Amino acid sequence: MPNPRLRVTPALRSTRMATPLTSRITFAADPTGAYALVTDAGYVEEVAVATGGQDVEVSVTPTDDGGATVVSARSLPADVPSYAKALVGDSVRLIETRVIGPAAADGSRDGTVTVSFAGAPVSMEGTLRLSGDAAASAVDVEMSIKASVPFVGGKIEKFCAEQIERALAKEEEVAATRLT
């Protein structure tokens, strides 16, 4: 017979915090050059392919305020631990959306980033800030990763955070090649 004092309620399950991720991508360009790069559809596609993406689709839509919305959709092989394999199958389709705002007087830009995974109970959202000087720029990303899976959600979030770190490092490599 279950112990009536040991009960997990839905409210208690939902109190688990999401996994935070903070990262930085550096660019050998001023903020204007860095913005031009990260909103270039060819660059975004090259990054998606370099991170293992297949069936890549990219759209860049300028906004009326001088910013842009960059959407990158791609399929990735599901190279995931066994505890997550049943959730995603052999591949996963992800859609990454970066909304980058207008330039401030110093050239910096603020924005948001979201990543959704088709059919998987994982979501990522956060902020980004592009800033720099005449010699170099950086995009600082702060994200929250949430996996709505009982018992293994934290493990999945940690795995996703590691994969995002690798993808951002690969993006930095592609940027370095493009800017030299």
Domain, as residue range, for 23: 17-178
> 154 or 101: whose pLDDT is higher?
101
Average pLDDT, stretch 4-28? Answer: 67
**What is the pLDDT, as a whole number, of residue 35?**
97
Examine residue 122 and state whether it is found in any structural domain, yes or no. yes
Average pLDDT, stretch 44-67? Answer: 96
pLDDT tens per residue, range 112-146:
999 988 877 888 999 999 999 999 999 999 999 88
Q: Could you tell me the CA-to-CA distances from 7 to 13, 17, 137, 177 in Å, in that order?
A: 11, 19, 51, 55
Q: Let me know: does 55 contact 74? Beta carbons within 8 Å.
A: yes
Examine residue 8 and state whether it is found in any structural domain, yes or no. no
pLDDT tens per residue, range 80-102:
656 555 565 666 788 999 999 99
CATH code of 88's domain: 3.30.530.20
Say how far apart CA 174 and CA 168 lie, in whole Å: 10
Examine residue 10 and state whether it is found in any structural domain, yes or no. no
Contacts of 24 (CB under 8 A, 6+ apart): 138, 139, 140, 141
Examine residue 103 and state whether it is found in any structural domain, yes or no. yes
Average pLDDT, stretch 107-111? Answer: 97
User: What is the count of structural domains for the chain?
Assistant: 1
Examine residue 11 and state whether it is found in any structural domain, yes or no. no
pLDDT category of residue 18 using cuts at 50, 70 and 90: confident
